[in-house]
Amino acid sequence: MSKLVLNYLIVNQGMGSKLLSYAKTLGLQGGTIFMAHGTINNSLLKLLNLNENRKDVVLIAENLNQDGSQLKKIADHFQFHRPNHGIGFNIAITQLYKAKEEGLIKGESSMNKYELIYAIVNKGKGEEVVEAAQKAGSSGATIINARGSSVHETAKIFSIEIEPEKEIVLMIVKSDIKENICQTIIKDTNITEPGKGVLFTQSINEVYGLYEDNH
């Protein structure tokens, strides 16, 4: 029995089109590319003003069969095992969590090691979400400027209306600290108040290229 998943691939700027072209050779059709920037908690990079790196975020829907996902082939081809070459993960679309203005809607507890925290906030507020998350244990994030036709195409995938001048914050975190991070974001940014934003989480099936600083 097949299962529909959404592949997320975060690569350096300019690599998104190459990734989509390779994905087509694997039988994957279509995709959406966002312009974004990454944040890494590194004091030396911040001193050199190099801590914000331009990124392409590629979303590709895939109908899984008995052979599994093509994600690993993409990760191997683009050498995601090497630092700063990319991060790839996929999420079952049926495991989507959405939030209403009144607050966070909790789904069933995840049995997976990692989860994706997804926040949609007004333009200029993304860094506040990142700062709150880092205070609670998150090591980094990707901020997407939610503007342009590609954003609206992706909004249809998630059945979420995204108005212009928004920022989307993506954070991959360990499941055991996810709830604390979400509650810190809610407390520090008031994201669940009307007009402030949307916050939800998704369970991650696979992840490649995630760097964890153990120092």
pLDDT tens-digit profile of 79-114? 999 988 999 998 765 333 334 444 444 444 556 788
> Is 112 within a domain?
yes
> Is 55 within a domain?
yes
170 CB contacts (<8 Å, ≥6 apart)? Answer: 8, 10, 57, 116, 117, 118, 141, 142, 143, 144
Structure tokens at 50: 């190099």
CATH number at residue 36: 3.30.70.120
3-class DSSP state of 16: helix
Q: What is the average pLDDT value for the chain, to the nearest integer?
A: 75
Percent of the chain with pLDDT over 90: 23
> Is 214 within a domain?
no
Domain count, the chain: 1
User: What integer pLDDT is reported at residue 94 of this predicted model?
Assistant: 36
> Is 102 within a domain?
yes
> Is 215 within a domain?
no
Q: Domain range holding 193?
A: 3-208
CA distance linking residue 136 with residue 1, whole number of Å: 39
Residues 31/58, Cβ–Cβ less than 8 Å: yes
Start-to-end CA distance of the chain, whole Å, equals 43
pTM: 0.56
> Is 72 within a domain?
yes
3-class DSSP state of 117: strand
User: What integer pLDDT is reported at residue 147 of this predicted model?
Assistant: 40
> Is 56 within a domain?
yes
pLDDT per position as a tens digit, 141-199: 988 875 423 344 455 445 444 445 678 899 999 988 988 998 899 889 988 877 787 78
Residue 78 reports pLDDT greater than 80? yes
> Is 213 within a domain?
no
